[in-house]
Amino acid sequence: MIGISYVLGQKHRERLTDEPYESGITPTGSARVRFDVKFYLVAMFFVIFDLEAVFIYAWSVSIRETGWAGYLEVLTFIGILMAGLVYLWRMGALDWVEWNRQMKKKAKL
């Protein structure tokens, strides 16, 4: 299918073909903006801890079937999550104030 679309498809290379079209606004710079790693780390932490909330919700729906054993298992699960959060906090992965200080020092140099 890809080969057929390549053979039968349109073959035009105009100047504006590769330009991004954003509601009629002319692009002023590059679309490839570099973000600091901190933004990606926070996004990953959010996805990880948000996914864990789904597991806890599923447990809460079936709490009557799991009984005390399920309750102890979810307490262990939450304990491991809290240990991971404390570890991230102590390692400075969530410390934006220190990051802002370092960026201000670099800007002054």
- Residues 77/71, Cβ–Cβ less than 8 Å: no
Instruction: Decide if pLDDT at 42 tops 90.
Output: no
For residues 6-16, give the mean pLDDT.
76
Question: Which pLDDT score, from 0 to 100, does residue 79 have?
Answer: 93
Over residues 10-31, mean pLDDT: 69
- Residue pLDDT, tens place only, 89-106: 888 777 777 666 666 666
Angle at 83 between CA 77 and CA 86, to 5 degrees: 145
Whether the predicted pLDDT of 27 surpasses 70:
no
* Averaged pLDDT for residues 18-45: 73
What's the rounded Cα separation, in Å, for the pair 33 and 14?
A: 25
pLDDT at 99: 62
pLDDT tens, position by position, 43-71: 888 888 888 888 888 888 988 898 999 89
- Alpha carbons 55 and 63: distance in angstroms, whole number: 12
CA-to-CA distance for 41 and 48, rounded, in angstroms?
A: 11
Under DSSP, is residue 53 helix (H, G, I), strand (E, B) or coil?
helix
14 or 89: which carries more pLDDT confidence?
Answer: 89
Q: What confidence score (pLDDT) does residue 88 get? A: 82
Neighbours of 11 (CB within 10 A): 7
